[in-house]
Amino acid sequence: MRPTPAFRLRDIMPKGLYWRTLLIIVAPAAVLQLIVTLVFLDDHWQATSKRMSQGVAADAALIIQLYEQNPTPQNFAYLQQLAQRPLRLDIELQPRAPLALRRCLTGYQNPVPADVMEFQMRLAIREATDLSFVPETLRHFAADAPLKA
């Protein structure tokens, strides 16, 4: 004689036809909807992060190129005003300072992993700039990218 197990699945399964129908049809549809939503939101999150990083990198590349055309204190003061007003960027000239990437990433809320933002920023800097226009503090980001023709 076999001993009866303490936990049996049929003891917790629904007995009525309505609840069985709900379990067979609605539960898989709800799980499928949840999976599709998560996949869509993840893809949307990645695309949005990429576009935002590309925009910031393009703005930074433009400021760098404009400064390198005329590296004078008066031009830098003009570029600071230009970056502040329409672009809402605070820039300062620090010739031999290292790039404080970790400090830049601490302002984001928890759902943004730092490595995602760092990856998107590296990619955007590589796409938006040429190594000849990247300042010394940013060259380690674009070092493994080929030069644009």
Q: Judge contact between 124 and 56, C-beta under 8 A.
A: yes
Would residue 123 count as lying in a domain? yes
Question: With contact defined as beta carbons under 8 Å apart, do 116 and 108 qualify?
Answer: no
Q: Is residue 36 part of a domain?
A: yes
pLDDT for residue 96: 74
Residue 100: the pLDDT is 57
Pairwise pLDDT comparison (103 vs 95), residue with the higher score:
95
Residue 40 is assigned to a structural domain of this protein: yes
Residue 87 lies in a domain: yes
Residue 149 lies in a domain: no
Domain annotation covers residue 69 = yes
- Domain presence at residue 84: yes
Select the more confidently predicted residue: 65 or 7. 65
Question: Does 88 have pLDDT greater than 80?
Answer: yes
Band of residue 79 on the pLDDT scale cut at 50, 70, 90: very high
pTM score of the predicted model: 0.50
Task: Output the pLDDT for position 111.
Answer: 52
Range of the domain at 53: 13-142
- Residue 8 inside a domain? The answer is no
pLDDT at 99: 60
**Confidence at 141, pLDDT banded by 50, 70, 90:** low
Q: What gap in Å lies between CA 117 and CA 109, rounded to an integer?
A: 12
How many angstroms separate the CA atoms of 126 and 131, rounded?
A: 8
- Total domains present in the chain: 1
- Averaged pLDDT, 65-84: 90
In this predicted structure, what is the pLDDT of residue 113?
57
What number is the average pLDDT over the span 13-34? 91
> What is the Cβ-side half-sphere exposure of residue 37, based on CA atoms within 13 angstroms?
6
The reported pLDDT for the residue numbered 91 is 86
Contact 91, 83 (CB under 8 A): yes
